[in-house]
């Protein structure tokens, strides 16, 4: 069952300027593996984090680094969670995330669907180990 969905669009140049003006922003928003990526990839990942927050109905106290994007061996994006994001997802019964990201024409976009399959293990949803954090695509 779909619990929530979210979509976000980010202007890549504007986002890049924000990162340049506020050096600590990169550290506040992204986990170390994301910080080394080019601006268009960072913008798409930020859009994914915003879309995930919308799918969770924008919970207060969400820590941006508790949500990050990895890629499968085939290049498909995977939304991973821990801490504040995983706990809110568990509270809502969310145990699977679906994510699509793209960038073109100066814009980055992400769409997230939060799903409950009815098989969530609340203990694993809060795990800091990305392999245990959340079900994936």
Q: How far apart are CA 68 and CA 121, in angstroms?
A: 20
Give the residue from 74, 26, 78, 84 showing the smallest Cα distance to 53: 84
d(CA 81, CA 64): 10
pLDDT per residue of the chain (137 residues) written in tens, 0 to 9 = 999 999 999 999 999 999 999 989 999 999 999 999 999 999 999 999 999 999 999 878 999 999 999 999 999 999 999 999 999 999 999 999 999 999 999 999 999 999 999 875 544 444 444 443 333 32
20 known ligand binder: no
> What are the two backbone dihedrals, phi and then psi, of residue 2, each rounded to the nearest 5 degrees?
-75, 125
Q: What's this model's pTM, rounded to 2 decimal places?
A: 0.84
Domains defined for the chain, CATH in brackets: 2-133 (3.90.470.20)
Residue 47 to residue 119: CA distance in whole angstroms: 28
8 is in an annotated binding site: yes
């Amino acid at each position: 069952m779909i619990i929530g969905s979210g979509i976000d669009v980010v202007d890549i140049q504007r986002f890049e300027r924000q990162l340049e003006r506020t050096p600590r922003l990169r550290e506040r928003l992204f986990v170390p593996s994301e910080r080394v990526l080019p601006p268009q990839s960072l913008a798409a990942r930020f859009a994914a984090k915003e879309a995930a927050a919308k799918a969770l109905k924008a919970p207060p106290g969400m820590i941006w680094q508790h949500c990050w994007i990895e890629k499968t061996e085939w290049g498909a994006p995977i939304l991973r969670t821990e801490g504040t994001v995983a706990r809110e997802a568990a509270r809502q019964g969310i145990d699977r995330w679906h994510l699509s990201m793209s960038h073109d024409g100066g814009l980055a976009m992400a769409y997230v669907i939060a799903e409950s399959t009815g098989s969530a293990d609340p203990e694993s949803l809060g795990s800091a180990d990305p392999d245990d954090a959340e079900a994936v695509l």
